[in-house]
Amino acid sequence: MKFTDGAWRTAEGFDIHQAKEVRFVKKDSDKITLTLPSFHIYNRGMTLSGPYITMEISSPCENVFHIRAYHFKGDKSLAPSYFRLAGTSIEIGTQEDEKTITITSGASCLVIDKANYGYKLMREGRLVTSSSEGALAFIDGDNGHFMREQLSLGVGEHVYGLGERFGSFIRNGQSIDIINKDGGTFSEQSYKNIPFYITDNNLGVFVNHTEEVNFEVASENVSKVQFSVRGECLDYYVFAGTSMKDVITLYTGLTGRVPKLPDWSFGLWLSTSFSTDYDEQTVLSFVDGMRDRGIDLSVFHFDCFWMKDSHWCNFLWDSDMFPDPAGLIAKLHSRGVHVCVWINPYIAQQSEIFDEAATNGYLIKKTDGSVWQTDLWQAGMGIVDFTNPDARKWYQDKLKVLLDMGVDCFKTDFGERIPTEDVVFADGSDPLRMHNFYTYLYNEAVFELLEKEKGKGEAVLFARSATAGCQKFPLHWGGDCHSDYPSMEQTIRGGLSLMLSGFSYWSHDIGGFEDKSTADVYKRWSAFGLLSSHSRLHGSSSYRVPWNYDDEATDVLRHYVELKKSLMPYINEARSEAEESGLPVMRPMVLEFQDDPVCAFLDRQYMLGGKILVAPVFDPDGEAQFYLPEGTWVSVDGSDRRVVTTGRFFKEKRGYLEMPVFIKE
């Protein structure tokens, strides 16, 4: 949201009250409280009116500062965030003289200017970022109140993250609203909005709000990142790292890291696709067809129509198509294949369990006490209210029946379109704050059940929506894309962006979701998909089995399934890093080669773990374009060894079995 009209004027409809000086300082062992008038005070008479901003500064762990600034202390916007953050405040060092207050945590410090309020964040003498005089502000607007902060960017500093975003990989110049929406992969909207950004100056910033957060990233002010929220309070964390990897480790130490996933989740997943017709015979023909063609299949996924149409979700198998679901699941298990079924948190009015949910108060209600309903997606559907512990258990009990039947995991679809107007939640939660946070409660409930029933290390989801902290409930996929090369490019950008937002695992629909790709795109996307952390064949209206394209597609898919299997010992090392430090398994080039200025811009290739470079091909003529940083690189089959004295680009023709995959010696 923009509050100014160019460099010199305030935008119409706003009155900006900027923090100007430090009036009072209160010191505790683990917190510093500052009183910041929005004007300079030259005499006692000027203290007879406000507004003032109060700022509380603490540190949850070394090299991380928690900053909480507010106008009116009694306003409801000061309610605690729903983000469940680890740890408590540690003791901080403070030093004050006539001009400055220095607050120290680990090797980092905040140096606060008392006369003209602002601060500098330093790490071992290096400037990480700063908030200059007037950057922090309380804003009166015609449509409500806002709190704003602006943090500086250095020359050539690039901003990344803010969730799974499909536009330009570098966020500089973008206006971004952190609010979950179901917008596909070809719009500015995102299923996974994370109010955390990271820069290649080793800065991380996490805005600790579950409601909509508005970012102006070198846009309204081209030398600053501005973030703002409605209300009287702004709560955020700054992370001063020694590297971008260090920042991610600090951030995930606060918001959570991925748990151990089952080994089988890293194999190939095959889906029925979304709107196709299928029954038991169809399913077994796909599974047996993959086996007969020598393609190792790990998971079979039943998408929406395992349930009867218009009844989603009733968690009951469509008996016309699947008269013996337990028997079918047993047949799949006997073939060494795990079973996943599609679910969402919506209960159609036609569902056999709608009345039960409505009567017992398990659905989100309107302010008049009636059930909130819509015809969008399923006729008359309501939405499960996961703030109600009884509703949470009820939902889990429905899923447990499926687990007892033999189902191994769930695809937790949707969770983005959560109403904010004329609704109340069971626990009294603010609907605006619940919109993004809903997906956390939804996926947490399902993942918790899986860990309880399957055991830790065996639980896995396939989720679309996410917010901060949802990396604890892996894994996530990229959502609805088209089936062409531009969509493949959008998809990889979105995944790499998510990997710089605290997530470690990610997947996507091999071949694209909408329509049906050409055989050429399918084969190129298969190579990319099998060298992602997780790999799934899924589409909308057509089956994604390789023989549905051409004979060569089967050979290509088999080749990359076998390649991924051969790399599993190496991928397991990357898994361990993810669990221990929060680092992603799929890494943007800038994360692994931060000192190489070219890598700051690369978003069509990536590192799998720390040493394997993957460069998908996006060209129907097979022209591959990729960049090798300085070092010695050997192709994955050992046939091509290149010594690169300075990083350089390559352009060369590649067959379907020859996607550039290099290992750094």
Q: Does 118 reside within a domain?
A: yes
Same domain, residue pair 238 and 282: no
Asked, for residue 286, whether it belongs to a domain, the answer is: yes
Amino acid at position 543, single letter: Y
- Mapped to the 3 state alphabet, what secondary structure does 318-335 carry? CCCCCCCHHHHHHHHHHC
Say whether both 624 and 532 belong to one domain: no
Mean local confidence (pLDDT), 311-325: 98
Tell me, what's the pLDDT at 190?
97
CATH code for the domain in which residue 508 is found: 3.20.20.80
pLDDT at 80: 81
Distance of alpha carbon 284 from alpha carbon 332, whole angstroms:
8
At 508 the pLDDT is 98
Pair (79, 227) in one structural domain: yes
Q: Which residues neighbour 231 within 8 Å (Cβ) at sequence distance 6 or greater?
A: 75, 76, 77, 144, 145, 146, 147, 211
pLDDT at 209: 97
Whether residue 59 is found in the same domain as residue 171 = yes
* 337-373 per-position pLDDT tens digit: 999 999 999 999 999 999 999 999 999 999 999 999 9
End-to-end Cα, the chain, rounded Å: 47
pLDDT above 80 (res 419) = yes
Q: Are residues 200 and 306 in the same domain?
A: no
Give the distance, in angstroms, between the CA of residue 174 and the centroid of all CA atoms in the same chain.
18
- Are 188 and 316 contained in the same domain? no
| Nearest residue to 270 (alpha-carbon basis) of 483, 556, 543 | 543
564 and 617 assigned to the same domain:
no
Return the bridge partners of 641, or none: 634
CATH number for the domain harbouring residue 620: 2.60.40.1180
Buried b / exposed e along 176-209 (16+ C-beta atoms within 10 A): bebbbbbebbbeebbbbbbbbbbbbbbbbbbbbb
pLDDT at residue 406 above 90? yes
Maximum separation of any 2 CA atoms in the chain, in Å:
88
The contacts of residue 599 (CB under 8 Å, 6+ apart) are 589, 590, 592, 593, 627, 629, 647
Q: Which of 542, 576, 610 is the last residue of a domain?
A: 576
| Nearest C-alpha neighbor of 423 from the set 433, 413, 415, 437 | 433
Q: Which two tokens stand for residue 134?
A: 């007037």
Sign of the C-alpha dihedral computed for residues 282, 285, 287 and 289 taken in this order: negative
Q: Which of 377, 350, 375, 349 is nearest to 363 (CA)?
A: 349
Query: Quick check: 247 and 200 in contact, CB under 8 A?
Result: no
Q: How far apart are CA 61 and CA 251, in angstroms?
A: 10
Domain boundary among 235, 255, 275: 255
Q: How far apart are CA 259 and CA 261, in angstroms?
A: 6
Asked if 567 contacts 612 with a C-beta cutoff of 8 angstroms, the reply is yes
Given a contact cutoff of 8 angstroms between Cβ atoms, the answer to whether 607 and 661 are in contact is: no
pLDDT digits (tens, 9 = 90+) for 531-582: 999 999 999 999 999 999 999 999 999 999 999 999 999 999 999 999 999 9
- The rounded distance, in Å, linking the Cα atoms of 239 and 62 is 9
- pLDDT higher than 90, residue 219: yes
CB 123 within 8 A of CB 197: no
In the numeric block, which tokens belong to residue 338? 């795990």
Q: Using the predicted structure, report yes or no on whether residue 615 has a pLDDT greater than 90.
A: yes
Q: What is the dihedral of CA 152, 158, 161, 166, to 10 degrees?
A: 130
Same domain, 394 and 427: yes
Rounded Cα distance, 361 and 426, in Å: 8
Catalytic residue, chosen from 113, 235, 408, 480, is: 480
Q: The domain spanning residue 190 has which CATH number?
A: 2.60.40.1760
Indicate whether 653 belongs to any domain: yes
Is residue 468 in a domain? yes
pLDDT confidence bin for 423, thresholds 50/70/90: very high
Q: Do 119 and 141 touch, CB atoms closer than 8 A?
A: no
**Per-residue pLDDT tens for 280-293?**
999 999 999 999 99
Residues 161 and 197 both lie in one domain: yes
What tokens were used for 302? 């039943």
Is position 372 within any domain?
Answer: no
Beta pairing, strands 268-271 & 299-302: parallel
* pLDDT for 111 beyond 80: yes
Instruction: Give pTM, 2 decimals.
Output: 0.98
C-alpha dist (Å) from residue 583 to 252, 257, 447, 586, 588:
9, 9, 21, 9, 11
| Tokens standing for residue 24 | 């009072």
Query: What is the predicted pLDDT for the residue at 356?
Result: 98
Q: Does the annotation count 484 as an active-site position?
A: no
Question: In the chain, what percentage of residues exceed pLDDT 70?
Answer: 100
Q: How confident is the model at residue 87 (pLDDT cuts 50, 70, 90)?
A: confident
- 291 and 332 Cβ atoms separated by less than 8 Å: no
Cα separation, 391 vs 202, in Å, equals 43
Residue 205, in any domain of the structure: yes
Residue 641: Cβ within 10 Å count: 11
What pLDDT is stored for residue 85 in this prediction?
87
Which domain-ending residue is among 549, 576, 603?
576
The catalytic residue among 416, 458, 520, 577 is 416
Q: Is residue 10 part of a domain?
A: no
Average pLDDT value for the chain: 97
Per-residue pLDDT at 233: 98
* Tokens of residue 193, six digits: 């909005």
pLDDT for position 157? 98
Domains contained in the chain, number: 3
Strand partners, 240: 203
Q: DSSP code of 49?
A: S
Has residue 658 got a pLDDT over 80? yes
- At residue 86, the pLDDT reads 79
Torsion of CA 546, 339, 574, 607, to 10 degrees: 30
Return the pLDDT at 79.
85
Residue 303 annotated as catalytic: no
Task: Say how far apart CA 444 and CA 352 lie, in whole Å.
Answer: 25
324 and 188 co-located in one domain: no
116-148 pLDDT per residue, tens:
999 999 999 999 999 999 999 999 999 999 999
Confidence (pLDDT) at 81: 86
413 is catalytic: yes
Q: Give 499-526 pLDDT, tens digit per residue.
A: 999 999 999 999 999 999 999 999 999 9
Side-chain half-sphere CA neighbours of 462 within 13 A:
30
Both 144 and 283 in one domain: the answer is no
How sure is the predictor about 476, in pLDDT bands with cuts at 50, 70 and 90? very high
Compute the distance between CA of residue 265 and CA of residue 462 in angstroms, rounded to an integer. 10
* Domain membership flag for residue 505: yes
Mean pLDDT of 4-16: 96
Q: Does 609 lie in the same domain as 516?
A: no
Q: Identify the domain containing residue 611 by its residue range.
A: 583-664
What is residue 84's predicted lDDT score, i.e. its pLDDT?
82
Catalytic, out of 220, 303, 413, 509: 413
Q: pLDDT at residue 101 above 80?
A: yes
Q: What is the mean pLDDT of residues 621-646?
A: 98
Q: What is the pLDDT of residues 486-503, one digit of tens each?
A: 999 999 999 999 999 999
- Torsion-angle region of 515 (φ positive above 0: left; ψ -120 to 50: alpha; else: beta): left
Contacts of 389 (CB under 8 A, 6+ apart): none
